[in-house]
Structure 1
Amino acid sequence: MSVGEPSVPGPETPGPSEHRHAPREVEAETEALRSGELVIIGRIPSASNATLVCDAVLGDIEVRCVYKPVRGEVPLWDFPDGTLAGREVSSFLVSEALGWSVIPTTIHRDGPLGPGMVQRWVVTAENDEPPSRVGAVADLPTPRVDLVDLCPADTVPSGYKAILRALDGFGEPVVLVHADDPRLQRMAVLDIVLNNADRKGGHVLEGLDGGVYGVDHGICLHTDDKLRTVLWGWAGEPIPAHLLADLAELVEHLTSTDHPLATELAGHITDDEILAMAVRAGELVAHETMPHPPGHRPIPWPPF
Protein backbone atom coordinates (compact mmCIF):
# COMPACT_ATOMS: atom_id res chain seq x y z
CA MET A 1 0.00 0.00 0.00
CA SER A 2 1.41 3.41 -0.91
CA VAL A 3 1.73 6.26 1.55
CA GLY A 4 -0.88 8.30 -0.28
CA GLU A 5 -3.72 5.82 0.00
CA PRO A 6 -6.37 7.20 2.42
CA SER A 7 -6.81 4.12 4.54
CA VAL A 8 -5.82 2.81 7.93
CA PRO A 9 -5.88 -0.63 9.51
CA GLY A 10 -9.45 -1.00 10.64
CA PRO A 11 -11.19 -3.96 12.22
CA GLU A 12 -10.39 -6.07 9.20
CA THR A 13 -6.64 -5.81 9.87
CA PRO A 14 -6.17 -5.94 13.64
CA GLY A 15 -2.69 -5.29 14.95
CA PRO A 16 -0.67 -7.50 17.24
CA SER A 17 -2.19 -8.31 20.60
CA GLU A 18 -2.17 -5.49 23.12
CA HIS A 19 -2.13 -7.69 26.21
CA ARG A 20 0.99 -7.36 28.32
CA HIS A 21 2.80 -10.36 29.82
CA ALA A 22 6.40 -10.76 30.97
CA PRO A 23 8.73 -7.73 31.18
CA ARG A 24 10.98 -9.46 28.65
CA GLU A 25 8.17 -9.36 26.09
CA VAL A 26 7.65 -5.65 26.75
CA GLU A 27 11.37 -5.02 26.31
CA ALA A 28 11.37 -6.94 23.03
CA GLU A 29 8.43 -4.91 21.70
CA THR A 30 10.09 -1.67 22.76
CA GLU A 31 13.28 -2.67 20.97
CA ALA A 32 11.23 -3.42 17.85
CA LEU A 33 9.73 0.07 18.04
CA ARG A 34 13.20 1.53 18.53
CA SER A 35 15.16 -0.27 15.84
CA GLY A 36 12.84 -2.52 13.81
CA GLU A 37 11.96 -1.90 10.18
CA LEU A 38 8.90 0.33 9.84
CA VAL A 39 6.54 -1.19 7.27
CA ILE A 40 3.87 1.34 6.28
CA ILE A 41 0.34 -0.10 6.40
CA GLY A 42 -1.69 3.04 5.77
CA ARG A 43 -2.33 6.54 6.97
CA ILE A 44 -4.87 8.41 9.06
CA PRO A 45 -6.28 11.02 6.66
CA SER A 46 -8.22 12.92 9.34
CA ALA A 47 -5.03 13.88 11.20
CA SER A 48 -3.82 17.46 10.80
CA ASN A 49 -0.22 16.24 10.48
CA ALA A 50 1.15 13.27 8.54
CA THR A 51 0.21 10.21 10.61
CA LEU A 52 1.14 6.78 9.28
CA VAL A 53 0.20 3.39 10.68
CA CYS A 54 3.06 0.89 10.54
CA ASP A 55 4.29 -2.44 11.74
CA ALA A 56 7.67 -2.30 13.44
CA VAL A 57 9.33 -5.58 12.45
CA LEU A 58 12.39 -6.97 14.21
CA GLY A 59 13.07 -10.66 13.60
CA ASP A 60 9.88 -12.54 14.41
CA ILE A 61 8.42 -9.64 16.43
CA GLU A 62 5.85 -7.30 14.88
CA VAL A 63 4.44 -4.32 16.78
CA ARG A 64 1.67 -2.16 15.34
CA CYS A 65 2.52 1.52 15.78
CA VAL A 66 1.85 5.09 14.69
CA TYR A 67 4.65 6.98 12.90
CA LYS A 68 4.58 10.79 12.66
CA PRO A 69 7.52 12.08 10.60
CA VAL A 70 8.79 15.57 11.39
CA ARG A 71 8.69 16.47 7.69
CA GLY A 72 4.91 16.00 7.75
CA GLU A 73 4.29 18.49 10.57
CA VAL A 74 2.32 21.66 9.91
CA PRO A 75 4.25 24.57 11.51
CA LEU A 76 2.49 26.28 14.43
CA TRP A 77 3.29 29.92 15.12
CA ASP A 78 2.74 29.53 18.86
CA PHE A 79 4.95 26.41 19.12
CA PRO A 80 8.03 27.65 17.23
CA ASP A 81 10.65 25.67 19.17
CA GLY A 82 11.59 22.07 18.50
CA THR A 83 9.17 19.65 16.83
CA LEU A 84 5.75 18.23 17.60
CA ALA A 85 7.33 14.77 17.55
CA GLY A 86 9.79 15.88 20.22
CA ARG A 87 6.92 17.11 22.39
CA GLU A 88 5.17 13.75 22.02
CA VAL A 89 8.31 11.95 23.12
CA SER A 90 8.86 14.39 26.00
CA SER A 91 5.31 13.82 27.23
CA PHE A 92 5.91 10.07 27.24
CA LEU A 93 9.17 10.50 29.17
CA VAL A 94 7.36 12.49 31.86
CA SER A 95 4.56 9.92 32.11
CA GLU A 96 7.15 7.16 32.55
CA ALA A 97 9.17 9.17 35.08
CA LEU A 98 5.98 9.45 37.16
CA GLY A 99 5.43 5.70 36.81
CA TRP A 100 1.89 6.28 35.51
CA SER A 101 2.07 4.66 32.04
CA VAL A 102 -0.58 7.04 30.73
CA ILE A 103 1.04 7.40 27.31
CA PRO A 104 1.87 4.41 25.08
CA THR A 105 5.56 3.73 24.48
CA THR A 106 6.84 6.58 22.29
CA ILE A 107 10.23 6.62 20.58
CA HIS A 108 12.09 9.28 18.61
CA ARG A 109 13.79 7.59 15.65
CA ASP A 110 14.44 7.60 11.93
CA GLY A 111 11.89 6.07 9.57
CA PRO A 112 10.91 5.74 5.90
CA LEU A 113 10.12 9.48 5.72
CA GLY A 114 12.90 10.65 8.00
CA PRO A 115 13.08 11.33 11.75
CA GLY A 116 9.88 11.39 13.75
CA MET A 117 8.04 9.80 16.61
CA VAL A 118 6.89 6.18 16.74
CA GLN A 119 4.20 5.20 19.25
CA ARG A 120 2.77 1.82 20.13
CA TRP A 121 -0.72 1.27 18.72
CA VAL A 122 -3.40 0.91 21.40
CA VAL A 123 -5.77 -1.97 20.66
CA THR A 124 -9.29 -1.13 21.84
CA ALA A 125 -12.65 -2.85 21.60
CA GLU A 126 -13.42 -0.64 18.59
CA ASN A 127 -10.38 -1.60 16.51
CA ASP A 128 -9.86 -5.23 17.56
CA GLU A 129 -13.01 -7.01 16.36
CA PRO A 130 -13.50 -8.09 12.72
CA PRO A 131 -16.44 -6.43 10.92
CA SER A 132 -19.85 -8.00 11.31
CA ARG A 133 -21.68 -9.41 8.29
CA VAL A 134 -23.62 -6.65 6.54
CA GLY A 135 -27.25 -6.79 7.56
CA ALA A 136 -26.65 -9.12 10.52
CA VAL A 137 -28.65 -7.29 13.16
CA ALA A 138 -27.63 -9.79 15.83
CA ASP A 139 -24.00 -8.74 15.35
CA LEU A 140 -24.55 -5.05 16.05
CA PRO A 141 -22.34 -3.80 18.90
CA THR A 142 -23.91 -3.32 22.29
CA PRO A 143 -24.40 0.40 23.01
CA ARG A 144 -22.00 1.63 25.66
CA VAL A 145 -20.90 4.93 27.14
CA ASP A 146 -17.23 5.66 26.44
CA LEU A 147 -14.87 7.06 29.05
CA VAL A 148 -15.52 10.47 27.48
CA ASP A 149 -18.82 10.79 25.66
CA LEU A 150 -21.84 12.87 24.71
CA CYS A 151 -25.18 11.89 26.24
CA PRO A 152 -28.74 13.24 26.05
CA ALA A 153 -28.97 16.40 28.12
CA ASP A 154 -31.23 14.85 30.77
CA THR A 155 -29.10 11.70 31.17
CA VAL A 156 -25.80 11.56 33.05
CA PRO A 157 -24.80 7.91 33.58
CA SER A 158 -24.01 6.67 37.07
CA GLY A 159 -20.30 6.99 37.80
CA TYR A 160 -19.84 9.87 35.33
CA LYS A 161 -19.19 13.58 35.75
CA ALA A 162 -21.01 16.21 33.69
CA ILE A 163 -18.65 18.77 32.14
CA LEU A 164 -20.54 20.86 29.61
CA ARG A 165 -24.00 21.23 28.09
CA ALA A 166 -24.17 21.97 24.37
CA LEU A 167 -26.02 21.20 21.13
CA ASP A 168 -25.04 18.34 18.84
CA GLY A 169 -24.82 18.51 15.04
CA PHE A 170 -28.60 18.12 14.78
CA GLY A 171 -29.30 20.91 17.25
CA GLU A 172 -30.29 18.51 20.04
CA PRO A 173 -29.18 19.29 23.61
CA VAL A 174 -26.43 17.00 24.90
CA VAL A 175 -24.06 16.88 27.86
CA LEU A 176 -20.34 16.16 27.69
CA VAL A 177 -19.42 13.61 30.36
CA HIS A 178 -16.43 11.60 31.46
CA ALA A 179 -16.06 8.64 33.79
CA ASP A 180 -15.18 9.13 37.45
CA ASP A 181 -12.30 6.71 36.98
CA PRO A 182 -8.95 6.88 38.82
CA ARG A 183 -7.13 5.93 35.61
CA LEU A 184 -8.69 8.95 33.93
CA GLN A 185 -7.99 11.19 36.93
CA ARG A 186 -4.31 10.32 36.67
CA MET A 187 -4.43 11.44 33.02
CA ALA A 188 -6.11 14.70 34.06
CA VAL A 189 -3.30 15.43 36.50
CA LEU A 190 -0.68 14.61 33.88
CA ASP A 191 -2.35 16.99 31.42
CA ILE A 192 -1.93 19.84 33.88
CA VAL A 193 1.76 19.04 34.28
CA LEU A 194 2.22 18.80 30.52
CA ASN A 195 0.07 21.89 29.87
CA ASN A 196 -1.84 19.90 27.27
CA ALA A 197 -3.54 22.25 24.83
CA ASP A 198 -5.64 19.57 23.13
CA ARG A 199 -7.04 16.82 25.37
CA LYS A 200 -10.06 15.78 23.34
CA GLY A 201 -12.33 12.85 24.05
CA GLY A 202 -11.01 11.04 21.01
CA HIS A 203 -7.50 11.20 22.46
CA VAL A 204 -8.54 8.97 25.38
CA LEU A 205 -8.29 5.25 24.61
CA GLU A 206 -9.27 2.31 26.80
CA GLY A 207 -6.99 -0.57 25.84
CA LEU A 208 -7.91 -4.23 25.93
CA ASP A 209 -5.02 -4.65 28.36
CA GLY A 210 -6.99 -2.69 30.99
CA GLY A 211 -4.99 0.52 30.62
CA VAL A 212 -6.35 3.96 29.81
CA TYR A 213 -4.06 5.81 27.44
CA GLY A 214 -3.75 9.34 26.15
CA VAL A 215 -2.46 10.04 22.64
CA ASP A 216 -1.68 13.13 20.53
CA HIS A 217 0.62 15.22 22.73
CA GLY A 218 2.19 17.34 20.00
CA ILE A 219 1.01 20.66 21.45
CA CYS A 220 2.07 20.29 25.06
CA LEU A 221 4.75 21.73 27.33
CA HIS A 222 4.50 25.41 26.37
CA THR A 223 5.64 27.98 28.93
CA ASP A 224 2.35 29.92 28.62
CA ASP A 225 -0.90 28.58 30.06
CA LYS A 226 -2.56 26.66 27.22
CA LEU A 227 -4.42 23.93 29.09
CA ARG A 228 -7.47 22.79 27.09
CA THR A 229 -9.06 19.56 28.24
CA VAL A 230 -12.35 17.71 28.51
CA LEU A 231 -11.25 16.25 31.86
CA TRP A 232 -12.49 18.98 34.21
CA GLY A 233 -14.65 16.71 36.38
CA TRP A 234 -12.28 16.83 39.36
CA ALA A 235 -11.89 20.63 39.40
CA GLY A 236 -11.36 21.85 42.97
CA GLU A 237 -11.10 18.32 44.39
CA PRO A 238 -8.10 17.01 46.36
CA ILE A 239 -5.40 15.21 44.41
CA PRO A 240 -4.81 11.68 45.78
CA ALA A 241 -1.78 11.51 48.07
CA HIS A 242 0.06 8.88 46.03
CA LEU A 243 -0.12 11.08 42.93
CA LEU A 244 1.19 14.05 44.92
CA ALA A 245 4.15 11.96 46.09
CA ASP A 246 4.97 11.09 42.48
CA LEU A 247 4.71 14.74 41.47
CA ALA A 248 7.05 15.84 44.26
CA GLU A 249 9.65 13.38 43.02
CA LEU A 250 9.18 14.61 39.46
CA VAL A 251 9.92 18.18 40.56
CA GLU A 252 13.23 17.00 42.06
CA HIS A 253 14.17 15.27 38.82
CA LEU A 254 13.28 18.24 36.64
CA THR A 255 15.23 20.72 38.74
CA SER A 256 18.33 18.56 39.04
CA THR A 257 21.16 19.62 36.73
CA ASP A 258 22.39 16.08 36.22
CA HIS A 259 19.28 13.91 36.35
CA PRO A 260 18.83 11.77 33.19
CA LEU A 261 15.21 12.93 32.73
CA ALA A 262 16.10 16.62 32.51
CA THR A 263 19.02 15.82 30.22
CA GLU A 264 16.86 13.77 27.85
CA LEU A 265 14.06 16.34 27.79
CA ALA A 266 16.58 19.03 26.87
CA GLY A 267 17.05 17.27 23.53
CA HIS A 268 13.42 17.99 22.61
CA ILE A 269 12.14 21.07 24.48
CA THR A 270 13.68 24.28 25.80
CA ASP A 271 15.13 24.86 29.26
CA ASP A 272 12.36 27.39 29.95
CA GLU A 273 9.73 24.76 29.11
CA ILE A 274 11.35 22.25 31.45
CA LEU A 275 11.40 24.83 34.24
CA ALA A 276 7.77 25.81 33.58
CA MET A 277 6.76 22.15 33.85
CA ALA A 278 8.55 21.87 37.19
CA VAL A 279 6.69 24.96 38.40
CA ARG A 280 3.31 23.52 37.36
CA ALA A 281 4.02 20.22 39.11
CA GLY A 282 5.27 22.06 42.19
CA GLU A 283 2.10 24.17 42.37
CA LEU A 284 -0.03 21.03 42.31
CA VAL A 285 2.01 19.60 45.19
CA ALA A 286 1.73 22.83 47.16
CA HIS A 287 -2.02 23.32 46.67
CA GLU A 288 -2.95 19.59 46.70
CA THR A 289 -6.06 20.28 44.64
CA MET A 290 -7.05 20.21 40.98
CA PRO A 291 -7.39 23.67 39.42
CA HIS A 292 -10.64 25.15 38.17
CA PRO A 293 -11.06 25.83 34.46
CA PRO A 294 -10.22 29.36 33.34
CA GLY A 295 -12.91 31.66 32.05
CA HIS A 296 -11.68 31.49 28.46
CA ARG A 297 -11.74 28.43 26.18
CA PRO A 298 -11.02 25.72 28.77
CA ILE A 299 -12.21 22.91 26.46
CA PRO A 300 -10.84 22.13 22.98
CA TRP A 301 -13.54 22.49 20.35
CA PRO A 302 -14.83 20.31 18.91
CA PRO A 303 -14.33 18.11 22.00
CA PHE A 304 -13.82 14.93 19.90
Structure 2
Amino acid sequence: MSGRELTLLAEGRIELLGRILRSSNATFLVRVTWGDDSACAVYKPEAGERPLSDFEPGLYRRERAAYLLSEYLEWGIVPSTVIREDSPLGIGSLQWFVECDFDEHYFTLYADAPETHHVLSRIALFDCIANNTDRKSGHVLRGHDGRVWGIDHGLCFSAGFKLRTVIWDFAGEPVPGALLEDITPLAEAVPPDVAELLDDAEVTALQRRVQRLLHERVLPVDRTGMRYPWPLV
Protein backbone atom coordinates (compact mmCIF):
# COMPACT_ATOMS: atom_id res chain seq x y z
CA MET A 1 0.00 0.00 0.00
CA SER A 2 1.06 3.56 -0.51
CA GLY A 3 3.16 5.40 2.02
CA ARG A 4 0.61 8.20 1.97
CA GLU A 5 -2.18 5.91 3.14
CA LEU A 6 -0.14 4.39 5.94
CA THR A 7 1.18 7.78 7.08
CA LEU A 8 -2.29 9.26 7.27
CA LEU A 9 -3.67 6.23 9.11
CA ALA A 10 -0.77 5.85 11.52
CA GLU A 11 0.06 9.50 12.21
CA GLY A 12 -2.96 11.58 11.22
CA ARG A 13 -5.22 13.44 13.59
CA ILE A 14 -8.51 11.55 13.88
CA GLU A 15 -11.85 13.35 13.67
CA LEU A 16 -15.07 11.42 14.22
CA LEU A 17 -17.57 12.12 11.42
CA GLY A 18 -20.35 9.70 12.34
CA ARG A 19 -21.36 6.15 13.03
CA ILE A 20 -21.72 3.66 10.19
CA LEU A 21 -25.12 2.06 10.63
CA ARG A 22 -26.09 -1.60 10.17
CA SER A 23 -22.79 -2.79 11.61
CA SER A 24 -22.85 -5.48 14.31
CA ASN A 25 -20.23 -3.60 16.30
CA ALA A 26 -19.79 0.14 16.72
CA THR A 27 -18.07 1.33 13.54
CA PHE A 28 -17.29 4.93 12.69
CA LEU A 29 -16.39 7.01 9.67
CA VAL A 30 -13.51 9.30 10.55
CA ARG A 31 -11.30 11.81 8.84
CA VAL A 32 -7.54 11.54 9.30
CA THR A 33 -5.41 14.61 8.71
CA TRP A 34 -1.65 14.88 8.43
CA GLY A 35 -0.35 18.33 7.52
CA ASP A 36 -2.28 19.54 4.49
CA ASP A 37 -3.43 16.04 3.53
CA SER A 38 -6.57 14.28 4.70
CA ALA A 39 -8.75 11.29 3.85
CA CYS A 40 -11.56 9.20 5.27
CA ALA A 41 -11.08 5.96 7.18
CA VAL A 42 -13.16 3.37 9.03
CA TYR A 43 -12.57 3.16 12.77
CA LYS A 44 -13.51 0.07 14.80
CA PRO A 45 -12.81 0.57 18.52
CA GLU A 46 -12.51 -2.37 20.90
CA ALA A 47 -14.87 -0.49 23.20
CA GLY A 48 -17.60 -0.83 20.59
CA GLU A 49 -17.38 -4.61 20.21
CA ARG A 50 -20.30 -6.67 21.43
CA PRO A 51 -19.26 -9.73 23.48
CA LEU A 52 -18.95 -12.97 21.52
CA SER A 53 -18.78 -16.51 22.83
CA ASP A 54 -16.30 -17.68 20.18
CA PHE A 55 -13.98 -14.70 19.81
CA GLU A 56 -12.06 -12.86 22.51
CA PRO A 57 -12.33 -9.06 22.69
CA GLY A 58 -9.91 -7.26 20.41
CA LEU A 59 -11.34 -7.97 16.97
CA TYR A 60 -9.36 -4.99 15.71
CA ARG A 61 -6.24 -7.17 15.88
CA ARG A 62 -7.79 -9.55 13.36
CA GLU A 63 -8.55 -6.65 11.03
CA ARG A 64 -4.87 -5.75 11.11
CA ALA A 65 -3.77 -9.38 10.76
CA ALA A 66 -5.90 -9.80 7.62
CA TYR A 67 -4.30 -6.74 6.07
CA LEU A 68 -0.80 -7.94 6.91
CA LEU A 69 -1.54 -11.40 5.50
CA SER A 70 -2.85 -9.88 2.27
CA GLU A 71 0.27 -7.74 1.99
CA TYR A 72 2.55 -10.69 2.72
CA LEU A 73 0.92 -12.63 -0.12
CA GLU A 74 1.10 -9.50 -2.33
CA TRP A 75 -2.56 -9.98 -3.21
CA GLY A 76 -3.68 -6.46 -2.28
CA ILE A 77 -7.12 -7.62 -1.13
CA VAL A 78 -7.46 -5.71 2.17
CA PRO A 79 -7.26 -1.89 2.35
CA SER A 80 -4.47 -0.39 4.43
CA THR A 81 -5.19 -1.05 8.11
CA VAL A 82 -3.39 0.04 11.27
CA ILE A 83 -3.98 -0.17 15.00
CA ARG A 84 -4.24 3.14 16.85
CA GLU A 85 -4.15 3.42 20.63
CA ASP A 86 -4.77 7.17 20.60
CA SER A 87 -8.13 7.03 18.84
CA PRO A 88 -11.13 9.02 20.16
CA LEU A 89 -12.87 5.99 21.71
CA GLY A 90 -9.75 4.05 22.60
CA ILE A 91 -7.68 1.41 20.88
CA GLY A 92 -9.01 0.00 17.63
CA SER A 93 -8.36 -0.53 13.95
CA LEU A 94 -8.25 2.23 11.37
CA GLN A 95 -8.78 1.18 7.75
CA TRP A 96 -8.57 3.20 4.57
CA PHE A 97 -12.05 4.07 3.30
CA VAL A 98 -12.77 2.67 -0.17
CA GLU A 99 -14.60 5.15 -2.37
CA CYS A 100 -17.11 3.01 -4.27
CA ASP A 101 -20.66 2.47 -5.42
CA PHE A 102 -22.25 0.64 -2.48
CA ASP A 103 -24.95 -0.76 -4.74
CA GLU A 104 -22.20 -3.03 -6.09
CA HIS A 105 -21.18 -6.05 -4.04
CA TYR A 106 -20.16 -9.67 -4.53
CA PHE A 107 -23.47 -10.84 -6.01
CA THR A 108 -23.68 -8.00 -8.54
CA LEU A 109 -20.01 -8.27 -9.46
CA TYR A 110 -20.22 -12.01 -10.01
CA ALA A 111 -23.35 -11.66 -12.13
CA ASP A 112 -22.51 -8.53 -14.11
CA ALA A 113 -18.71 -8.18 -14.15
CA PRO A 114 -17.05 -11.43 -15.27
CA GLU A 115 -13.75 -9.59 -15.56
CA THR A 116 -13.66 -9.53 -11.74
CA HIS A 117 -14.02 -13.31 -11.33
CA HIS A 118 -10.28 -13.96 -10.99
CA VAL A 119 -10.12 -11.49 -8.10
CA LEU A 120 -13.29 -12.86 -6.51
CA SER A 121 -11.91 -16.39 -6.59
CA ARG A 122 -8.70 -15.11 -5.00
CA ILE A 123 -10.76 -13.56 -2.21
CA ALA A 124 -12.42 -16.96 -1.78
CA LEU A 125 -8.98 -18.54 -1.35
CA PHE A 126 -7.93 -15.79 1.07
CA ASP A 127 -11.04 -16.45 3.16
CA CYS A 128 -10.19 -20.16 3.33
CA ILE A 129 -6.72 -19.33 4.63
CA ALA A 130 -7.97 -16.68 7.07
CA ASN A 131 -10.97 -18.83 8.10
CA ASN A 132 -13.36 -15.95 7.51
CA THR A 133 -16.55 -16.44 9.50
CA ASP A 134 -18.43 -13.52 7.98
CA ARG A 135 -17.85 -12.92 4.24
CA LYS A 136 -21.08 -11.18 3.35
CA SER A 137 -21.70 -9.95 -0.17
CA GLY A 138 -21.44 -6.35 1.01
CA HIS A 139 -17.92 -7.02 2.29
CA VAL A 140 -16.70 -7.11 -1.31
CA LEU A 141 -16.34 -3.65 -2.85
CA ARG A 142 -15.25 -2.30 -6.20
CA GLY A 143 -13.54 1.07 -5.93
CA HIS A 144 -14.19 3.88 -8.38
CA ASP A 145 -10.89 2.90 -10.01
CA GLY A 146 -12.23 -0.61 -10.70
CA ARG A 147 -10.16 -2.34 -8.05
CA VAL A 148 -11.92 -5.04 -6.01
CA TRP A 149 -11.44 -5.15 -2.24
CA GLY A 150 -12.41 -7.34 0.69
CA ILE A 151 -13.30 -5.61 3.96
CA ASP A 152 -14.52 -6.49 7.46
CA HIS A 153 -12.18 -9.20 8.76
CA GLY A 154 -12.79 -8.97 12.48
CA LEU A 155 -14.19 -12.53 12.58
CA CYS A 156 -11.23 -14.34 11.05
CA PHE A 157 -8.43 -16.67 12.15
CA SER A 158 -10.34 -18.83 14.61
CA ALA A 159 -8.54 -22.07 15.47
CA GLY A 160 -11.75 -24.02 14.87
CA PHE A 161 -13.02 -24.29 11.29
CA LYS A 162 -15.71 -21.60 10.98
CA LEU A 163 -15.71 -20.63 7.30
CA ARG A 164 -18.94 -18.84 6.40
CA THR A 165 -19.08 -16.98 3.11
CA VAL A 166 -21.28 -16.13 0.16
CA ILE A 167 -18.44 -16.90 -2.27
CA TRP A 168 -19.20 -20.51 -3.21
CA ASP A 169 -19.43 -20.02 -6.98
CA PHE A 170 -15.83 -21.15 -7.41
CA ALA A 171 -16.09 -24.18 -5.11
CA GLY A 172 -14.25 -27.21 -6.43
CA GLU A 173 -12.26 -25.23 -8.97
CA PRO A 174 -8.48 -25.77 -9.13
CA VAL A 175 -6.37 -23.15 -7.37
CA PRO A 176 -4.01 -21.59 -9.94
CA GLY A 177 -0.42 -22.73 -9.57
CA ALA A 178 0.85 -19.19 -9.02
CA LEU A 179 -1.45 -18.78 -6.01
CA LEU A 180 -0.37 -22.13 -4.61
CA GLU A 181 3.23 -20.90 -4.85
CA ASP A 182 2.24 -17.71 -3.01
CA ILE A 183 0.74 -19.58 -0.06
CA THR A 184 3.32 -22.37 0.18
CA PRO A 185 5.60 -20.59 2.71
CA LEU A 186 2.65 -20.25 5.10
CA ALA A 187 2.57 -24.02 5.52
CA GLU A 188 5.89 -23.80 7.37
CA ALA A 189 5.75 -20.41 9.07
CA VAL A 190 3.32 -17.56 9.55
CA PRO A 191 4.86 -14.06 9.24
CA PRO A 192 5.81 -12.81 12.72
CA ASP A 193 3.77 -9.61 12.46
CA VAL A 194 0.67 -11.71 11.72
CA ALA A 195 1.45 -14.38 14.32
CA GLU A 196 1.88 -11.85 17.13
CA LEU A 197 -1.74 -10.72 16.65
CA LEU A 198 -3.09 -14.28 17.07
CA ASP A 199 -2.70 -17.00 19.66
CA ASP A 200 -0.59 -20.11 19.15
CA ALA A 201 -3.54 -22.37 18.32
CA GLU A 202 -4.75 -19.93 15.67
CA VAL A 203 -1.32 -19.75 14.08
CA THR A 204 -1.06 -23.53 13.95
CA ALA A 205 -4.56 -23.81 12.49
CA LEU A 206 -3.70 -21.30 9.75
CA GLN A 207 -0.71 -23.43 8.76
CA ARG A 208 -2.87 -26.55 8.68
CA ARG A 209 -5.47 -24.89 6.47
CA VAL A 210 -2.73 -23.96 4.03
CA GLN A 211 -1.30 -27.47 4.13
CA ARG A 212 -4.72 -28.88 3.28
CA LEU A 213 -5.15 -26.46 0.38
CA LEU A 214 -1.73 -27.40 -0.96
CA HIS A 215 -2.68 -31.05 -0.75
CA GLU A 216 -6.14 -30.78 -2.32
CA ARG A 217 -5.27 -27.94 -4.77
CA VAL A 218 -8.93 -26.95 -5.17
CA LEU A 219 -11.22 -24.48 -3.45
CA PRO A 220 -13.35 -26.24 -0.82
CA VAL A 221 -16.94 -27.28 -1.40
CA ASP A 222 -19.70 -26.72 1.15
CA ARG A 223 -21.55 -30.03 1.13
CA THR A 224 -23.81 -28.94 3.99
CA GLY A 225 -25.29 -25.84 2.36
CA MET A 226 -25.04 -24.21 5.78
CA ARG A 227 -21.83 -22.23 5.56
CA TYR A 228 -23.40 -18.88 4.77
CA PRO A 229 -23.35 -15.71 6.90
CA TRP A 230 -26.52 -13.81 7.73
CA PRO A 231 -27.63 -11.46 6.38
CA LEU A 232 -26.19 -12.45 3.00
CA VAL A 233 -25.50 -8.84 1.98
- Post-superposition shift, 1:296? 5.4
Match of 2:184 in 1: 248
Q: Distance in 2 between matches of 1:184 and 1:105?
A: 19
Match of 1:103 in 2: 78
Q: Distance in 1 between matches of 2:232 and 2:198?
A: 27
Greater C-alpha Rg: 1
- Post-superposition shift, 1:71? 0.8
Match of 2:68 in 1: 93
Structure 1 stretches of 4+ moved >3 Å: 144-147, 156-160
- Post-superposition shift, 1:180? 6.4
Q: Distance in 1 between matches of 2:67 and 2:104?
A: 27
Where does the alignment leave 5 or more consecutive residues of structure 1 unmatched?
Answer: 1-22, 127-143, 151-155, 161-178, 255-260
Q: Distance in 2 between matches of 1:56 and 1:50?
A: 18
Match of 1:289 in 2: 218
Match of 2:107 in 1: 148
Amino acid at match of 1:113: L
- Post-superposition shift, 1:28? 2.0
Where does the alignment leave 5 or more consecutive residues of structure 2 unmatched?
Answer: none
Aligned residue runs from structure 1 range 171-190, under 5 A: 181-190=117-126
> TM-score with structure 2 length normalisation?
0.92
Would the aligned equivalents of 2:27 and 2:44 in 1 still touch at CA under 8 Å?
Answer: yes
Would the aligned equivalents of 1:97 and 1:250 in 2 still touch at CA under 8 Å?
Answer: no
Equivalent residue in structure 2 for 1:209, among 141, 145, 148: 145
- Name the SS of the counterpart of 2:188 in structure 1: helix
After superposition, the C-alpha distances for 1:87-113 in whole angstroms (9 at most, x for unaligned) are 111111111111101010110112011
Assess, with a 3 A threshold, how the Cα gap between structure 1 residues 252 and 210 changes in structure 2: closer, same or farther. farther
Assess, with a 3 A threshold, how the Cα gap between structure 1 residues 209 and 252 changes in structure 2: closer, same or farther. farther
Equivalent residue in structure 2 for 1:219, among 151, 155, 166: 155
Assess, with a 3 A threshold, how the Cα gap between structure 1 residues 277 and 183 changes in structure 2: closer, same or farther. same
Equivalent residue in structure 2 for 1:270, among 189, 199, 203: 199
Match of 1:192 in 2: 128
Q: Distance in 2 between matches of 1:113 and 1:145?
A: 31
Is 1:34 matched up with 2:27? Answer: no
Amino acid at match of 1:105: S
Root mean square deviation of aligned Cα: 2.1
Q: How many residues align?
A: 232
After superposition, the C-alpha distances for 1:29-74 in whole angstroms (9 at most, x for unaligned) are 2111011111111111211111010111110111210001111111
- Name the SS of the counterpart of 1:183 in structure 2: helix
- Post-superposition shift, 1:194? 0.6
Q: Distance in 1 between matches of 2:183 and 2:200?
A: 19
Q: Distance in 2 between matches of 1:101 and 1:290?
A: 20
Amino acid at match of 1:277: L
Q: Distance in 2 between matches of 1:266 and 1:159?
A: 35
Equivalent residue in structure 2 for 1:60, among 20, 36, 50: 36
- Post-superposition shift, 1:250? 2.8
- Post-superposition shift, 1:125? 3.1
Assess, with a 3 A threshold, how the Cα gap between structure 1 residues 159 and 204 changes in structure 2: closer, same or farther. closer
Amino acid at match of 1:148: F
Equivalent residue in structure 1 for 2:27, among 41, 51, 70: 51
> TM-score with structure 1 length normalisation?
0.72
After superposition, the C-alpha distances for 1:227-273 in whole angstroms (9 at most, x for unaligned) are 0011111111100111100010233341xxxxxx22x2343210110
Would the aligned equivalents of 2:105 and 2:139 in 1 still touch at CA under 8 Å?
Answer: no
Amino acid at match of 2:23: A
Assess, with a 3 A threshold, how the Cα gap between structure 1 residues 38 and 209 changes in structure 2: closer, same or farther. same
- Post-superposition shift, 1:158? 7.0
